[in-house]
Amino acid sequence: MPDALPDPPRPCANPVAAALVESGIAGLLAQLDRELIGLAPVKSRIRDVAALLLVDKLRAERGYSTGAPSLHMSFTGNPGTGKTTVAMRMAEILQRLGYLRRGHLVAVTRDDLVGQYIGHTAPKTKEILKKAMGGVLFIDEAYYLYRPENERDYGQEAIEILLQVMENQRDDLVVIFAGYKNRMDSFFNSNPGMSSRVAHHIDFPDYQPAELQQIARLMLGAMQYRFDEQAEKVFADYITRRMALPHFANARSVRNALDRARLRHASRLLSAQDAIGDDALLTIEAGDLLASRVFGGGPERSNL
Ligand SMILES: Nc1ncnc2c1ncn2[C@@H]1O[C@H](COP(=O)(O)OP(=O)(O)OP(=O)(O)O)[C@@H](O)[C@H]1O
């Protein structure tokens, strides 16, 4: 007797869960999970935002109106914790959900928005807003916009324009304010108008050493390199030492360390006497890491 055919996949009875898959958001979330190590609380907040928007859509289809949701956000955390990377993914997700037309990201700091002279700020800010329309405006170190010590600071003018656009064009632009948590808290405390327009606050924790090691592996894999067994151990040691030094910047420090290791790897290969096999081309060895100043190697700061 022939084997019974497997049951055909049943259509999902839950329309929100079905929409999550059909819109491609489930795929994007899975990709985010694969490509970004750790960040569990951040990933779950992104999922929540996606769920909120899908439920809003379903409610609208059934005639329950909630009004356009406010999607402006603040991303707080130390340098190199993935804020810019997640903001780019968020833009893509919001575009897929139909909340943003273009889904691109424009990343700026105070100097891109605020002019030096009277009359310069408004056109500068408006120009950036024009570029960002239909996407995400990512304002890094947003608290520098506000300088309470300077009464005539032009930053205030940029803030006023931003506030207006955040309110009136919130169906076409999402603003993400990013920076250190404590400074962002005082920025929002001093700008209640801004605070009331930012609905989602997402905190990016520092990475644990094991997560940084995994990030290194992921980055190397993406560049088609690998550590040999000894290098893997040395890099774990590197991370612990580097974390204790000034200017440590989480995953960004990992990327920089790998870039320098690639330079040393290349110069090692250049001076090799023998033919160079594929294995040598692909493999970062312990010595490529041990030359770092972190281990008492070269003198320059850039050698960390
Ligand atoms: N969880 C992660 N998994 C893999 N790579 C990551 C992760 N977090 C960050 N990175 C990588 O580290 C680098 C720095 O990340 P990103 O620029 O997003 O950080 P940031 O918080 O915006 O930092 P900064 O405020 O200093 O710009 C990028 O190359 C990014 O791809």
Q: Please state, as a whole number, how many other Cβ atoms lie within 10 Å of the Cβ of residue 116.
A: 9
107 lines ligand 1 (CB under 6 A): no
Query: How far is residue 207 CA from its own chain's centroid?
Result: 14
Give the integer Cα–Cα distance in Å for 150 and 67: 38
Average pLDDT value for residue range 219-223: 96
218 lines ligand 1 (CB under 6 A): yes
Burial 56-94 (b: 16+ CB within 10 A, else e): bbeeeeeeeeeeeeebbbbbbbbbbbbbbebbbbbbbbb
3-state secondary structure of 2: coil
For residue 6, the model assigns a pLDDT of: 65
Q: Which fold has domain 209-295?
A: Helicase, Ruva Protein; domain 3 (1.10.8)
DSSP state of 6: P
Q: Give bridge partners of residue 156 from the DSSP assignment.
A: none
Query: From the CA of 249, how far away is ligand 1's center (Å)?
Result: 9
Share of residues in the chain with pLDDT > 70 (%): 93
For residue 2, the model assigns a pLDDT of: 54
The tokens for 80 are 């190199």
Helices (H), 62-109: 83-96
Decide if pLDDT at 283 tops 50. Answer: yes
Decide if pLDDT at 104 tops 70. Answer: yes
Name the average pLDDT for the chain.
90
For residue 10, the model assigns a pLDDT of: 61
Give the integer Cα–Cα distance in Å for 171 and 175: 11
Decide if pLDDT at 3 tops 90. Answer: no
Query: From the CA of 237, how far away is ligand 1's center (Å)?
Result: 21
39 lines ligand 1 (CB under 6 A): yes
Query: From the CA of 80, how far away is ligand 1's center (Å)?
Result: 5
Query: From the CA of 286, how far away is ligand 1's center (Å)?
Result: 25
Pocket test for ligand 1, best of 109, 143, 252, 255 (most atoms within 8 A of CB): 252
For residue 125, the model assigns a pLDDT of: 96
Query: From the CA of 253, how far away is ligand 1's center (Å)?
Result: 9
For residue 272, the model assigns a pLDDT of: 85
Give the integer Cα–Cα distance in Å for 81 and 95: 24
Instruction: Give the closest residue to 47 by CA, choosing from 70, 78, 16.
Output: 16
Query: From the CA of 2, how far away is ligand 1's center (Å)?
Result: 54
pTM exceeds cut of 0.95: no
215 lines ligand 1 (CB under 6 A): yes
State pLDDT tens for residues 113-167: 998 888 899 999 999 999 999 999 999 999 999 887 777 788 999 999 999 999 9
Atom number in ligand 1 closest to CA 207:
1
Atom number in ligand 1 closest to CA 36:
3
State pLDDT tens for residues 193-214: 899 999 899 999 999 999 999 9
Decide if pLDDT at 228 tops 90. Answer: yes
For residue 149, the model assigns a pLDDT of: 76
Share of residues in the chain with pLDDT > 90 (%): 69
Whether 153 contacts 53, CB under 8 Å: no
Residue ranges per structural domain of the chain: 69-204, 209-295
For residue 300, the model assigns a pLDDT of: 45
Class at the top of the CATH hierarchy for domain 69-204:
alpha beta
State pLDDT tens for residues 183-195: 999 999 988 889 9
177 backbone dihedrals φ, ψ, rounded to 5°: -95, 130
Q: Which residue has the higher pLDDT, 226 or 57?
A: 226
State pLDDT tens for residues 24-79: 889 999 999 999 999 999 999 999 999 998 998 889 889 998 777 889 999 999 99
The residue whose CA is least distant from atom 12 of ligand 1 is: 251
